[in-house]
Amino acid sequence: MDDKKIVYIVSDSVGETAEFVVKAVATQFNGGSFETSRYPYVNCLEDVDHLMAMIDPSSSIIAYTIVIPSLKAYLDRRAQEEGVVAIDLLSPLMEAFMKKFNTEPRYEPKLMRKLDDDYFRRIEAVEFAVKYDDGRDPRGLLKADIVLIGVSRTSKTPLSMYLAHKRYKVANVPLVPEINPPEELFQISRHKCVGLVISPDKLNLIRKDRLKNLGLRTDANYASMERILQELDYAEKIMKRIGCPIINVSNKAIEETADAILDILKKGRSSL
């Protein structure tokens, strides 16, 4: 029986990239009789020595993705000393990047994992913002990083989505005089709740435009000044009851308001 052929997949991170490349190559040999053994999180010289003690040079290959120059150099030297074939999967392409684009790599391990984690946190936050938009499920208020409250057309939804792309889980609740706010709104910390207010004239114009775009009459009660003043007065009472910070969004862009919200959140945490 032939000796077992092993490809050791070595990485200073999880090793998924190296494993994917090795499997892609193995398919070109119909899978062969190769085995793979992943050796992740190599971050010191002792890890390399331990790896070398495990390997049979006559039937093994090392395929590695190590970006720390000193560790890579040590692995290359030890592999040469032991007569083990060691293939660097990253350096040729990194060198091409450096030469062609005249830039230097960071030589920092686990960056791909960090990017993946960041991506999935952002997706999770966006899904959260959609699920708990417009007060749909008050249970989301207890799970949120930030809770936005205010009358209709104070940019609660676009702000929620903008902040979600910064990986914050945001829920928002419309304040309407005829509907009591959910009890959960009074159970959360006032430091993570932000009230959004707007000038009556500005809100009047926004609501008229909204009705016009919907093909409705602009003199509807929704856009009347009397109704707007009633709603704003009600919202202010709720915000005072909660004791949350308040931002006037009348002349602010979404980005500007979001920065103000994050600043408030940071100050609130530091005061706890």
Residue that terminates a domain, selected from 109, 134, 152: 109
What tokens does 149 get? Answer: 């409250």
Domain identity same for 77 and 198: no
Domain identity same for 37 and 163: no
Q: Single out the residue of 137, 135, 168, 143 nearest to residue 265, CA to CA.
A: 168
Domain identity same for 222 and 163: yes
C-alpha distances in Å from residue 5, one per residue of 60, 136, 220: 6, 58, 78
- For residue 150, say whether it is annotated as part of any ligand binding site: yes
Asked whether residue 26 is domain-assigned, the answer is: yes
Domain identity same for 266 and 143: yes
Residue 272: the pLDDT is 43
C-alpha distances in Å from residue 190, one per residue of 26, 120, 156, 236, 259: 58, 28, 17, 14, 18
Asked whether residue 142 is domain-assigned, the answer is: yes
Asked whether residue 158 is domain-assigned, the answer is: yes
- For residue 27, say whether it is annotated as part of any ligand binding site: no
* Overall pTM surpassing 0.85 (yes/no): no
Domain identity same for 250 and 193: yes
Residue that terminates a domain, selected from 63, 84, 109: 109
Asked whether residue 35 is domain-assigned, the answer is: yes
- For residue 218, say whether it is annotated as part of any ligand binding site: no
Asked whether residue 116 is domain-assigned, the answer is: no
- Spell out the residues 6+ positions from residue 265 whose beta carbon is closer than 8 angstroms to its own: 145, 146, 191, 192, 194
Residue 116: the pLDDT is 65
Residue that terminates a domain, selected from 109, 136, 164: 109
Whole-angstrom distance, CA of residue 100 vs CA of residue 190: 53
Asked whether residue 114 is domain-assigned, the answer is: no
Domain identity same for 33 and 71: yes
pLDDT in tens, 158-177: 999 999 999 999 999 999 99
Strands 146-150 and 170-174 come out as parallel
Domain identity same for 88 and 156: no
- For residue 155, say whether it is annotated as part of any ligand binding site: yes
- Spell out the residues 6+ positions from residue 239 whose beta carbon is closer than 8 angstroms to its own: 149, 195, 197, 246
Whole-angstrom distance, CA of residue 150 vs CA of residue 210: 17
- For residue 189, say whether it is annotated as part of any ligand binding site: no
Helical H segments across the chain, by residue range: 16-27, 45-54, 69-82, 91-101, 111-131, 156-164, 200-213, 225-242, 254-270
Domain region containing 72: 5-109
- For residue 91, say whether it is annotated as part of any ligand binding site: no
Asked whether residue 96 is domain-assigned, the answer is: yes
Split into its structural domains, the chain has a count of 2
Domain identity same for 127 and 219: yes
Q: What are the residue ranges in the chain where pLDDT is below 50? A: 1, 272
Domain identity same for 102 and 215: no
Domain identity same for 145 and 223: yes
- For residue 156, say whether it is annotated as part of any ligand binding site: yes
pLDDT in tens, 41-78: 898 999 999 999 999 999 999 999 999 999 999 999 99
Q: Single out the residue of 125, 169, 131, 133 nearest to residue 152, CA to CA.
A: 133
Domain identity same for 63 and 137: no
Whole-angstrom distance, CA of residue 43 vs CA of residue 73: 13
Domain identity same for 79 and 148: no
CB atoms within 10 A of CB 114: 12
CATH, residue 82 = 3.40.50
